[in-house]
Amino acid sequence: MCKTFCIRMVAVGSMLWAGSALAVENEPRILFDQGHNQRFIIEEKGDLQLSKLADIMRGKGIQVTSTKKPLNDDTLKDVTALVISGPFESLQPEEVDAVVRFTERGGRLSAMLHIGPPLTELLEKLDLDSSNAVLHERNNVIDTDNNFRITNLGSSSLFAGLTQFSVYGAWALDPGKTGITLAQTSTDAWADLDGNKVLSKGDIIGAFNVVVSGTLGSGSFVVFGDDAIFQNRYLDENNSKLAANLAVWLTGR
């Protein structure tokens, strides 16, 4: 009797474990690149880290992992989406090619700039470019004119339920010939081209793109001109909603 009962219990336990394993396998997986001297990562809980962003994504039933390994076809195998946030070191040419192949095969990619140069080659492959000066605003300023709210939002699922979000040191993005502008500063924003930290004759005034999206092969990408948007300190109600929308966008749900 006990033997039969125990066998049945083992069988039921095995079925439950198999079902649980299958559910995990079927969950979409977002991979964070942390192999390019990123200072702000998903495992740390400090003000400038990305642990809350990862938690928001996990709350959507998504597997969230990170890697310090070089980006290649093997690293990106079985990955739904790749996030490259705030690298301080450039991706190697072969890594850029691997990310492009990943996207062309149907993967989703999101990149966030802390500084522009480490992502220059990848942006070029996406037919994008970034400014060499951080943006300043004269409208919707939060505290200093580098920190401001973005209210000019395009039509995108990324902005579902939003009328604004905030940036904290954003770079302008050029969408090239095929990119789509999703969010812009006001027309009174300016870029400090001469580096004197005040608006002067040598600077450019206008509406600058801070979020750009596009397609590549069967996949899609979205680039943010700021990585602080999703750092723990700055995940207010609006930025948290944007983070949740990004999680959905990255998994194609």
The answer to whether the CB of 191 falls within 8 A of the CB of 198 is no
Q: Is the pLDDT of residue 5 over 50?
A: no
Average the pLDDT over 154-162 and give the result. Answer: 97
Q: Are strands 63-67 and 171-174 parallel, antiparallel or unpaired?
A: unpaired
pLDDT one-digit tens code per residue, 23-58? 455 789 999 999 999 999 999 999 999 999 999 999
The total of other beta-carbon atoms located within 10 Å of residue 86's CB is 26
The answer to whether residue 67 scores a pLDDT higher than 50 is yes
The answer to whether the beta carbons of residues 208 and 187 sit under 8 Å apart is no
The pLDDT value given to residue 172 = 98
Q: What letters, b where the CB count within 10 A reaches 16 and e where it falls short, cover 106-130?
A: ebbbbbbbbbbebbbebbebbebbb
Question: In the prediction, which pLDDT does 143 show?
Answer: 97
> Which CATH fold would you assign to the domain 2-129+178-184+212-251?
Rossmann fold (3.40.50)
Average pLDDT over residues 91-107: 98
Domain ranges of the chain: 2-129+178-184+212-251
Band (pLDDT 50/70/90 cuts) for residue 2 is low
Average pLDDT, the chain: 92
* pLDDT of 153 above 90: yes
